[in-house]
Amino acid sequence: MLRFLVRRTVAGAAMLLVISTLAFTLLYLTGADIARNLLGDNASQEAVDLRAAQLGLDRPLGERYLDWLSGAVRGDLGTSWFGGSSVVDLLASRLGVTLSLVVLSTLLSAVVATVLGVWAAVRRGWVDRVVQVFSMAGAAIPNYLVALGLVLVFAIDLAWFAPTGYTRPEVSVGAWLASIALPVAALTVGCIAGTAQQVRSAMIDALRQDYVRTLRSRGLPERSVVYRHVLRNAAGPGLSVLALQFVGLLGGAVVIEQMFAVPGLGALSVASTRQGDIPVIMGVVVVIAVIVILVNLLIDLAQGWLDPKARTA
C-alpha cells in the first residue's frame, strides 16, 4: 500500500508541474500586450514599457516561470497586480467558501445517490424507473436553471432563504447554513443524478455475480448480502464517478457563486480574468489543480482499500 501511495503521489506532483507550466505559458504568451491591457489604450509607450519592466514582463518566459515556481514551492504565489495583496492571502480568504459548497454538495450527493442507487437496484420495478427518470432529468438540466428555480420557489415565493448573499460561519452558523442552502442544493441535484445511476448499474452487476448466489444459498440475511458484500464491491465505480462529479462541481461553483453572490474562488477567478490579473489567475489554477489531484489520490486509496487488485493497476 505504501508503494501504491508513493507512486500515486509522484504522478500527482508530475501532473501539477505540467498543469502549472502549461497555464503559465498560455497566460504569459502574449506578454507584450499585458502591460498595455493593464494601462489602457491611451497610455504612452514609455509608461507601458516601464510597467512591463516593473512586472518583469521584459524577462525571458522561462526565467519568469522558474522564479514563479521557486516562489510557489516556498508558498509564495506572488502579489495581485491590482491592490498589491498577496495571492496566497486572497486565495485563503476564498478557498473555504468554495470548499464548503463543493464538499457539502459531494457528501450530500454521496449519501442520497447511494440510497437511491441501492434502492433502485434491489427493488427494481417502478422504483427503478422513477430513479432512472430522475437521474436523466437531473443530468440534463443545467445547474444554473436549477438555481433559478430554487430562487423563484424558496427565496421569492416562500421567502425561506435570501436570494443572494453569504454569511461567514464565525458570525452565525445558522445564518451561514441558510446562506449556502440554495447554492448547495443547486450543485447537488445534478451530482446526485449522475452518481445514483452509476451506483444502480454497479449494484445490479454485482447482484448478478455467482458469489451473491453462494452467499444467499448459505442462508445469509439479504441485508447482510446487500450492504456488507454487494455494496462494497459496487463502491469502486461509484467512487470514480463521484470524483468526476467533484471536479465538475468545482467548475459549476463558478456559475453558482456568481448567481448567489457568494465570495468564493469562482467569483475571484471571474473578477481576476476580467481585470487580467494573471498572478491571481495562476493561483486559482494551481489551487484547483491541487484539490483535484488530492481528491483523485484519496479516491485511488479508497479503491485500493476496497479492491487490492487496484493497487497494481
pLDDT tens-digit profile of 17-59? 999 999 998 888 765 577 777 777 777 778 888 878 887 777 8
In the predicted model, is pLDDT for residue 85 greater than 80? yes
Give the contacts of 92 (CB within 8 A, at least 6 positions apart).
none
| Average pLDDT of the residues in 203-231 | 82
Average pLDDT over residues 188-215: 84
- Asked if residue 152 lies in contact with residue 161, where contact means CB atoms within 8 angstroms, the answer is no
Instruction: Locate 206 and state its grid cell.
Output: 454485482
pLDDT value at residue 166: 87
In this prediction, residue 310 carries a pLDDT of 58
Give the model's pLDDT for residue 30.
60
Q: Mean pLDDT, to the nearest integer, of 214-232?
A: 81
pLDDT at 200: 86
Whole-number pLDDT of residue 31 = 52
Residue 21: per-residue pLDDT: 92
3-state secondary structure of 208: coil
In the prediction, which pLDDT does 306 show?
Answer: 67
Residue 77 has pLDDT above 60, yes or no: yes
- The vertex-175 CA angle with 172 and 179, nearest 5°, equals 135
Residue 129 has pLDDT above 80, yes or no: yes
From the list 223, 205, 280, 284, the residue with the least C-alpha distance to 251 is 284
261 burial type by CB count under 10 A (0-12 exposed, 13-18 middle, 19+ buried): middle
pLDDT score for 307: 66
Q: What is d(CA 234, CA 60) in angstroms, rounded to the nearest whole number?
A: 52
Q: Where are the alpha helices (DSSP H) in 44-169?
A: 45-54, 61-73, 87-123, 125-140, 143-150
User: Angle at CA 264, nearest 5°, toward 263 and 269?
Assistant: 105
Most confident of 26-30, 43-47, 201-205, 239-243: 201-205
Query: Residue 264: its pLDDT value, please?
Result: 86
- Averaged pLDDT of the chain: 83
pLDDT score recorded for residue 88 = 92
Would you state the pLDDT for residue 163? 85
Confidence (pLDDT) at 18: 92
pLDDT tens profile 287-313: 988 988 888 888 777 777 766 665 555
CA atoms of 132 and 136, how far apart (whole Å): 6
DSSP conformation letters of 267-278: HHHHHHHHHT-H
Residue range 138-171, pLDDT digits in tens: 778 888 888 889 999 998 888 898 888 888 888 8
Domains in the chain: ranges and CATH: 1-74 (no CATH), 87-310 (1.10.3720.10)
Is 60 exceeded by the pLDDT of residue 221? yes
- Which among 223, 232, 229 has a CA at the least distance from the CA of 199? 232
